[in-house]
Amino acid sequence: TSNKTRYLSHSSLFLDRKEWADLEPVPQDDGPNPVVKIAYSEKFTDVFDMFRALLQNDEKSERAFALTTEAIDLNAANYTVWHYRRVLLQALDKDLREEMKYITAIIEDQPKNYQVWHHRRMVVEWLNDPSEELQFVAEILSQDAKNYHAWQHRQWVMQEYKLWDGELEYVEELLEEDVRNNSAWNQRHFVINHTSGYSDSSILDREVQYTLKQIKKAPHNESAWNYLNGILQDGGLSSFPGLLEQVTELQDTCSSPYLTAFLVDLYEDALETNSSSYDQQEMFNKALELCKFLAEEKDTIRREYWNYVSRSLQNTYGSGDPVSASSDPPPPPSSSQLPDMEPSDP
Amino acid sequence: SCSLSITVHVFSKLIMEEASPPLRCFSESHSSELFSDDGVQTVTSREQVNSNKMIKWMILPYFFRPTLLREQHYHYLKKGLRHLSDAYECLDASRPWLCYWILHSLELLEEPVPAAVASDVCQFLARCQSPTGGFSGGPCQHAHLAPTYAAVNALCILGTEEAYKVINREKLLDFLYSVKQPDGSFVMHVGGEVDVRSAYCAASVASLTNIITPTLFDGTHNWILSCQNWEGGLGGVPGLEAHGGYTFCGTAALVILGKEHMLDLKTLLRWVTSRQMRFEGGFQGRCNKLVDGCYSFWQAGLLPLLHRALFKEGDSTLSVSSWMFERKALQEYILLCCQNPGGGLLDKPGKSRDFYHTCYCLSGLSIAQHFGNKDLHNELILGRDENRLAPTHPVYNICPEKVAQAIEHFHRLPVPVQTESTPSTMDQS
């Protein structure tokens, strides 16, 4: 109910401001019987009614830019507003250094929002200047070392601008602070993958020794065990010299379900590669024994999984009759049986 | 914490006669599943130990059969479908999501939607459809793949002629082409970000509405596959940490495209089964992070997908009676720890209820309850029989009958022809 001849000096509503008097606010059209109708505050309605008016007129002005700031403040997830703000940044040739300061503050305030990080990325691209990025992301990570958007931005900056120096050191600092930070372990893999790679045996050795050292510090840290497994996948767990011995040695002091699972993986790899370094029958028997131990005692939450692994091993490497999960064979698949998950053929 | 253990033990022994199958969380060995920090305290371990403590307090009163608070959830959902408080201003660009989360929760609870309400939803979603195709977060906003996914799912749940007719298939195809990237990925909206959610949203709506052309998903499966990492799960984009939400999106998209066999299924299976928490029973989103009720769907929902993928590969050692996760433990976590007494479900004890968590906790509960399909079905309902939910389709997360009905409807229509030329590079503004 705006009366254009009445300019309230105390109202902060846009519809009451004389600089906006020429613009007719556009109310949201939710239809006659709205659903999921949000009880917007008066301020919210005011700002977005004006925003819709600007959008409708495709207005490109300073006041439009100022309005986007208000709209973002009310709902930073409104991607339409962010898009419009970017159009204005370019059309009005706005100072992008100022925009960097702005987006820095917004991200600090709402670091788990998609739009704010994407906006920052766009401004960095326009400026072609990544020089603040690694420090900025490190600052956000110092508050939440696992923020997924932050890591995504960091990886994008590093790849786009080839900023690999010092990152392994940064990862090690994070792992010193929290050896269980899985995001840091992932970043370790990311850096090495994109720089030296893992095919060099001196690199692989270094990584295996580093990881075993972290495992000894905290044997129940799943991340370290997963990393050990992950880096040895290509070469094969059973092919790495002395690994079985090193891990078996850990059993007395560092036993955990993860150690046991690692041994299963190692034995399975020995079977898969038909390695002559190991007694195949012994590998088979030990693998089954550990699967049973995990299923029945040490990792019962994954009972179904370990029983499956056991059956699979028996099926592939066993010498007896084919193994299945029940005495009756499963019925043969027919089109009516399984939910149709694929589009039909043209 | 020693006296707490004794209290739990004494109470459980006293009242156990009432409960039929004893709950896993009251078994003798449950306390041995508490997190061991090896004497090395870090941020991660402190958070996990606190999480365990919270859970312990939550399970205390539940000596009797856990109950799904149907009435309370129904009223919460019924009200939300019409009115939401100003706390929902932050979801003003996600209103089709609110429609989907609520409608799907209602269909899982087998609560009918009155015809008038259904029609109102159709008309609202029609107002969210963009003139250039696809759906947006609200009237007059730009089209975006996430609300597009949600709107199409919501309309398929309604399943009426009116609902199906809302979708402009020709323009939807134009929209999908407008967000398609040369490397096979999709941006979420014109001028927006890329991640694997977009491929799932695109594949879901395109397959349901029968608008898949020979070129629409060129390169997409290869891009998704490059998101699988050293952990076995998938990250949001290549290089990132494996994460439940993104892993679900990537895997489900590949299933739709018929390319799921190209994943390293063994390492993916190991990764996802490792995400079930030994103490809480629920799932975490990433290794060494906390349990969250929504992962009951994103993570547990992967097991039916993997089961089918392995079956298609000729695996004869798959279980014939269960998905490969602890179904009872997940149901316990959801029913004992994720329900708000006034209705609605949540992340973990201490968090507020919301419609997103209501949708995904209930979806996860359904996955845990139902194994197989029409011919090879097996139900495991924790607590009262009344806790039973309708089954959900593990690819689309709407009920299987609604999937079948939509596919049947749209397959009677021809695949549209792409009408607009597409920009080959991302719109910089």
How would you write the pLDDT of chain A (346 residues) with one tens digit per residue? Answer: 444 455 555 678 998 899 999 999 999 999 999 999 999 999 999 999 999 999 999 999 999 999 999 999 999 999 999 999 999 999 999 999 999 999 999 999 999 999 999 999 999 999 999 999 999 999 999 999 999 999 999 999 999 999 999 999 999 999 999 999 999 999 999 999 999 999 999 999 999 999 999 999 999 999 999 999 999 999 999 999 999 999 999 998 889 999 999 999 999 999 999 988 999 999 999 999 999 999 999 999 999 999 999 999 999 999 866 677 754 444 444 333 334 443 322 2
Return d(Cα B172, Cα B166) in angstroms, integer.
11
Residue A329 DSSP symbol? P
Return d(Cα A107, Cα A122) in angstroms, integer.
14
- Residues of A within 8 A of B320 (CB-CB) are 324-326, 328, 330
Please choose, from the candidates B114, B214, B92, B209, the residue with its C-alpha nearest in 3D space to the C-alpha of residue A47. B92
| Whether the predicted pLDDT of B11 surpasses 50 | no
Q: What is the largest CA-CA distance in chain B?
A: 72
Return d(Cα A270, Cα A236) in angstroms, integer.
8
For position B32, what pLDDT does the model report? 84
In a domain, A261, yes or no: yes
CB contact under 8 A, A301 and B407: no
Measured in angstroms, the CA of B94 and the nearest CA of chain A are apart by: 9
CB contact under 8 A, A30 and B98: no
The 10s digit of each residue's pLDDT in B350-391 is 999 999 999 999 999 999 999 996 567 899 999 999 999 999
In a domain, A95, yes or no: no
CB contact under 8 A, B278 and A304: no
Active site residue B289: yes
A198 token code pair: 């893992």
Q: Which stretch of A53-62, B45-54, B194-203 has the lowest confidence by average pLDDT?
A: B45-54
- Which of residues B226 and B52 earns the better pLDDT score? B226
For position B422, what pLDDT does the model report? 52
Q: What is the mean pLDDT of chain B?
A: 92
Return d(Cα A314, Cα B245) in angstroms, integer.
33
In a domain, A307, yes or no: yes
β-pair partners for B186: B180
A264 token code pair: 């299963």
Chain A contact present for B124, CB below 8 A: yes
CB contact under 8 A, B33 and A308: no
In a domain, A332, yes or no: no
CB contact under 8 A, A38 and B102: no
Do residues A64 and A54 touch, judged by C-beta distance below 8 A? Answer: yes
Measured in angstroms, the CA of A202 and the nearest CA of chain B are apart by: 20
- Which of residues B124 and B48 earns the better pLDDT score? B124
End-to-end CA distance of chain A: 56
- Residues of A within 8 A of B195 (CB-CB) are 152
Active site residue B120: no
Interface pTM (ipTM) of the complex?
0.92
Residue B351: Cβ-neighbour burial (10 angstroms; 0-12, 13-18, 19+)? middle
| Whether the predicted pLDDT of B316 surpasses 60 | yes
- Residues of B within 8 A of A312 (CB-CB) are 315, 317
For position A231, what pLDDT does the model report? 98
In a domain, A58, yes or no: no
Active-site pick, A4, A37, A101, A112? A112
Chain A's closest residue to B252, CA to CA, is: A341
Residue carrying the six token digits 């392995």:
B310
For position A244, what pLDDT does the model report? 96
- Residue B380's alpha-carbon distances to A192, B268, B367, B389, in angstroms, are 46, 25, 10, 11
CB contact under 8 A, A155 and B276: no
- In three-state secondary structure terms, B119 is helix
Which of B47, B92, B176 should we substitute to test contact with A (largest number of A Cβ atoms within 10 Å)? B92
β-pair partners for B180: B186
CB contact under 8 A, B230 and A31: no
CB contact under 8 A, A28 and B138: yes
Q: Which stretch of B24-33, B182-191, B324-333 has the lowest confidence by average pLDDT?
A: B24-33
Q: Which long-range contacts (CB under 8 A, 24 or more apart) does B37-41 make?
A: B37/A218, B37/A220, B38/A217, B38/A218, B38/A219, B38/A220, B38/A221, B40/A179, B40/A217, B40/A218
**Domain hosting residue A256, numbered range:** 237-316
Return d(Cα B44, Cα B37) in angstroms, integer.
9
Active site residue B333: no
Chain A contact present for B233, CB below 8 A: no
Residue B293: Cβ-neighbour burial (10 angstroms; 0-12, 13-18, 19+)? buried
| Whether the predicted pLDDT of B126 surpasses 80 | yes
In a domain, A289, yes or no: yes
- Which of residues B77 and B22 earns the better pLDDT score? B77
For position B355, what pLDDT does the model report? 98
- In three-state secondary structure terms, B84 is strand
Do residues A147 and A160 touch, judged by C-beta distance below 8 A? Answer: no
- In three-state secondary structure terms, A203 is helix
Q: For helices B400-410 and B196-208, give the axis angle rounded to 10 degrees.
A: 60
Residue carrying the six token digits 């000729």:
B314
For position B61, what pLDDT does the model report? 60
Residue carrying the six token digits 């689309």:
B396
Q: What is the CA radius of gyration of chain A?
A: 30
Q: Which stretch of A115-129, B42-56, B83-97, B234-248 has the lowest confidence by average pLDDT?
A: B42-56
Model pTM score: 0.92
Contacts across the A-B interface (CB distance below 8 Å): 284
Q: For helices A222-232 and A182-194, give the axis angle rounded to 10 degrees.
A: 20
B183 token code pair: 């490397």
In a domain, A335, yes or no: no
End-to-end CA distance of chain B: 57
Measured in angstroms, the CA of B415 and the nearest CA of chain A are apart by: 9
β B370-371/B83-84 pair status: unpaired
| Whether the predicted pLDDT of B392 surpasses 50 | yes
| Whether the predicted pLDDT of B4 surpasses 90 | no
- In three-state secondary structure terms, A78 is coil
Return d(Cα A65, Cα A17) in angstroms, integer.
16
Chain A's closest residue to B80, CA to CA, is: A36
Counting every residue written for chain A, the total comes to 346
In a domain, A29, yes or no: no
- Which of residues B37 and B237 earns the better pLDDT score? B237
Count of domains observed in chain A: 1
Residue carrying the six token digits 């949600």:
B150
Torsion sign over Cα A118, B138, B115, B85: positive
| Whether the predicted pLDDT of B217 surpasses 50 | yes
Torsion sign over Cα B10, B16, B21, B23: negative
